Every structure is written in structure tokens, then in C-alpha cells.
Structure 1
Amino acid sequence: MDKKFMLNLLMKGDINIPALLIEHYHAIGLDEQECMILIQVHSFIIKGDDFPTFDDLAQRMTLDETACADMLRRLIQHGFLSIVQKTENQIYSEAYSLLPLWDKLLNYAYGKESEASEKESEKALYTIFEHEFGRPLSPIECESLAMWMDEDHHSPQLIKAALREAVVSGKLNFRYIDRILFDWKKNGIKTLTQAKEHGENIRRHQQLPRQGRGNENPKKPKMPAYDWLDKG
């Protein structure tokens, strides 16, 4: 048989398999056989057969019909594959859908990106603290930072806001920052907007008694309101 003809036949028969599946099938909970049977289902769908039989799949696998059926059933139960109904010329039929698989892969990919971004935020937070304190943080201070994030579940942005409040108040120490974060957690504050509103309410209440006593020190400058939303 003509070798050139065979090469053309091979090239035309290519099926695109998402690189995410090849690279991360194990990370989302698939083994090699499960990944391969899903690739085979994908191959049938691409070629126009969206509901291959167990026998069709067994002929391409090292599994018999019963094993293919069991594996497909498990994949459906675990949310990697689904069976959907379709209508064509008022005739109802069933088809395999790989949307659950693609959805898991995309969620995994976006989750990895978010995790990397969070790690970068945490790393930047340590740098900001060391810059404000003008020195490297001690092991105990590093442990406090980690506890605020891991145990108290404060976001790096909220911890940075508490640091700024300590700087503005002239009380730059971890104990004071911890008190701010404790107060915010007690009051259900989880965002910068909520922290800003809470701080404004506190300052407003602090200013009322002074106004009642009259202007005892008219030359004393007012401390500017701190902008919690300033992320710079």
C-alpha cells in the first residue's frame, strides 16, 4: 500500500484532545483506563456517534463490554460524564456529554491560578510588614501573620488594612493589630468596605463628646480620615 496515502490517512484521522486532560487527568481523580475510555467517547462524538455502545468501546479498549459498562456507570456517578436527551425531527434519543469533564478541568485550572495568586498575596504581605516595621519579622511575628490567615481566615487585604490603621494610630505593634482584627471578626467584618464603614462609625462616636465640651484646643489639627479602600 502507498506509504504517502497511509500518512495522509493518519493525518486526516487526528482527533484533538485537550492538553488539560492529558496533563491533569490524575489531579481531577481519573486513572489511566478512565481517562482513555473518556478519550474514546470523545473520539466517537467528534466523528458523529454521540452514543457508542459498550461493544464499540470494548473493541478499542483492553476491557470487555461488562467492564466498559461498569466504568462508564462510575464515571457518570462521579460527575465526569452525563447522558443527555436530544431531539431530532421529533425523535428522542440519548447521547453522552463530556461537559461535566470539561467543567472539572476548567475548575481545576482556575483553582490552581487562584491558589498561586493567593500565595503571591501572602508573600507580598510579609514584605509590606517588614517594610513598615523597618526590619525582618521575628519567628513569633511570622507565626502570628500565618495564624491570622490560616486560623482566623482574614484575607491578606484585610490584614494589610489593619496594619495601616496601626500606622495611622501611631501604635505599630502586633498586639494592636491583633486587637483590630479581633474587633473586626467580632463585628463580622470581612471586606475593606465594611472595615472602612466600621472605622468611620468609631471616629464619629469619638468626636461627639469632644464637640459637647466645646472647642478646647482650636489650633490642634484634625487627623485626616483614613481611606480603607486605598490599596496602594
Structure 2
Amino acid sequence: MEQKELLMRWMNEGMVSIPQVLLTYYKKLKLNETELVLLLQIFSYKQKGRHFPTFEELADRMTISAGECSLLVKKLVQHQILAIEQGDTLGFESYSLTPLWKKLADFMLQQSRQSALHQAMSEEQDLYTCFEKEFGRPLSPLECETLAIWIDQDHHDAVIIKAALREAVISGKMNFRYIDRILFEWKKQGIETLEQAREYGQRFRKNQLPVDQVQRSKKAVPFYNWLEQ
């Protein structure tokens, strides 16, 4: 009976769901483990309806004194990790973790942007390398500028630009003007994926060939192999 009552008390205490992102990135926010635990204790109290626990109550759950809790809370407020809000009722105060959640959201957004920028730079560098390999020479300044315009102004995806390059290779027309015409036509037709480019290329080449050549091409290596990944 005692064990059952103990188990029921344990279950009635409830559980605290800790955001995984907080455990993952608290170090990036320059929080140490003591500050993290203090924030988690405040979070725990708030989930049970206690929005402004005393320093003594917080210290009772930790290995630091009430005075040290007071100093840490002051530090977290100054660093805009924690806030103390005034309620409508006179003398009513509560801790707010909104500044912490905002900082975590800003950090994750920044990480996402940096990751996207790094990927874009990597794809762009790979694009230049791909062009130089196909042309068999370094690109001229004008050609480099044209590539930059396709990416930055025309907003062509690097994968689509590579597909247009391969189309030019198949057609035996290795020049930027021809590739630009391909990209212009694809954009006009709303082509944004490799699959769409492959299907359009098939239809285009089929319409350009006489019937007997179309029949022979079916037995040859497919022209659209360059689109397969």
C-alpha cells in the first residue's frame, strides 16, 4: 500500500517537458549549467502555476544559496534571458521566459541562414567548376558575370543552370548565349525541376528530328541521361 501511494504521489507531481532546443543550444547562449538549471526550475514552477517562486524556494531545489539565486536571476535579467513582469494586480509579479525563447528562435534562424548561405556558396563554386570543366578552360570575366546574373538577378537554381549546360553540350552549342536562351525558354515555360527540364528537352528534340531519326534515336543512348541523378 505504501509503495502504491508513493507511486501515485510521484505521478501526481507531474512531469516537466524540457525543450530539446534549450538543451542543445544553451551553451551557444553563453549559459552555464547552474544558470540552465535555475531556468528549468523557474520553468517547472510556472508549469505548476507558481509564476514567481522565491529565491529560497528555488535554492531549496538546487545546490546554491538563496543569495546566489538572487544574483543569478539579476544577471539573467540584465542579459535579457529572463524577465520579471508586473501583473494587473498590485504587488503581483511573475517570471517570463519569453526573452529566452526569442533568443533561441533568433539563434536557430541565424544558424539556418548561415547554413543556407554556406550551401549556396558551395553550389555556386561547384557551378563555376562544372562550367570550366565542360568548356575546357577558365571562364572569362564576362562569362563569370553572366553566371552571377543568372543566379542573383534571374534567380535560376544552380541545378537548373547545370541542366541547361548539359543541354548545350548535347546540342553541340557550347556558348553562353545558347545556354541563356535555354534558361529563358525554361523560365517562360515555368520549368523549375530537373524532371520538367528532361521532359521538355525530350519533346523539343523529338520535334526537331525527322521521323526516321526519331525511330533510330530510340535505339541509341537516350539524350536525357544527363538529367538522371
Secondary structure of the corresponding residue to residue 226 of structure 1: helix
Using the TM superposition, give the Cα deviation of residue 113 of structure 1 relative to its aligned residue in structure 2, in angstroms: 1.8
Using the TM superposition, give the Cα deviation of residue 123 of structure 1 relative to its aligned residue in structure 2, in angstroms: 0.5
Query: 1: distance between equivalents of 2:177 and 2:35?
Result: 60
Secondary structure of the corresponding residue to residue 227 of structure 2: coil
The answer to whether the aligner puts 1:20 opposite 2:16 as a matched pair is no
Using the TM superposition, give the Cα deviation of residue 189 of structure 1 relative to its aligned residue in structure 2, in angstroms: 1.1
Which residue in the other structure is 1:165 paired with? Answer: 167
Q: Structure 1: 5+ residue runs without aligned partners?
A: 1-15, 23-34, 74-92
Using the TM superposition, give the Cα deviation of residue 218 of structure 1 relative to its aligned residue in structure 2, in angstroms: 9.1
The answer to whether the aligner puts 1:135 opposite 2:137 as a matched pair is yes
**Which of the pair is proportionally richer in helix?**
2
* Maintained 8 Å contact 2:84/2:95: no
- TM-score normalised to structure 1 length: 0.59
* Maintained 8 Å contact 1:184/1:195: yes
Using the TM superposition, give the Cα deviation of residue 135 of structure 1 relative to its aligned residue in structure 2, in angstroms: 1.1
The answer to whether the aligner puts 1:187 opposite 2:165 as a matched pair is no
Query: 2: distance between equivalents of 1:228 and 1:150?
Result: 25
Query: 1: distance between equivalents of 2:134 and 2:160?
Result: 16
Secondary structure of the corresponding residue to residue 110 of structure 1: helix
Which residue in the other structure is 1:49 paired with? Answer: 45
Which residue in the other structure is 1:80 paired with? Answer: none
Query: 2: distance between equivalents of 1:216 and 1:174?
Result: 28
Which residue in the other structure is 1:61 paired with? Answer: 74
Query: 1: distance between equivalents of 2:167 and 2:223?
Result: 11
- Please list, as runs of the form range in 1=range in 2, the aligned pairs for 1:113-124 lying within 5 A after superposition: 113-124=115-126
Query: 1: distance between equivalents of 2:200 and 2:214?
Result: 27
Query: 2: distance between equivalents of 1:130 and 1:198?
Result: 26
* Maintained 8 Å contact 2:151/2:158: yes
| C-alpha spacing 1:223/1:52, structure 2 compared with 1 (3 Å) | same
The one-character-per-residue Cα deviations of 1:61-119 (angstroms, maximum 9, x if unpaired) are: 2799xxx8xx677xxxxxxxxxxxxxxxxxxx997465554343233223322221211
* Maintained 8 Å contact 1:41/1:52: no
Query: 1: distance between equivalents of 2:114 and 2:228?
Result: 28
Which residue in the other structure is 2:222 paired with? Answer: 224
Secondary structure of the corresponding residue to residue 227 of structure 1: helix
| C-alpha spacing 1:107/1:62, structure 2 compared with 1 (3 Å) | closer
Which residue in the other structure is 2:66 paired with? Answer: none
Query: 1: distance between equivalents of 2:157 and 2:214?
Result: 40
Q: Which segment is superposed worse, 50-59 or 221-230?
A: 50-59
Supply the AA of the counterpart residue of 2:28.
L
Which residue in the other structure is 1:79 paired with? Answer: none
Q: Structure 2: 5+ residue runs without aligned partners?
A: 1-22, 56-68, 86-93
Residues matched between the structures, number = 175
* Maintained 8 Å contact 2:51/2:95: no
* Maintained 8 Å contact 2:45/2:53: no
Supply the AA of the counterpart residue of 1:46.
Q
Using the TM superposition, give the Cα deviation of residue 226 of structure 1 relative to its aligned residue in structure 2, in angstroms: 1.6
| C-alpha spacing 1:205/1:150, structure 2 compared with 1 (3 Å) | same
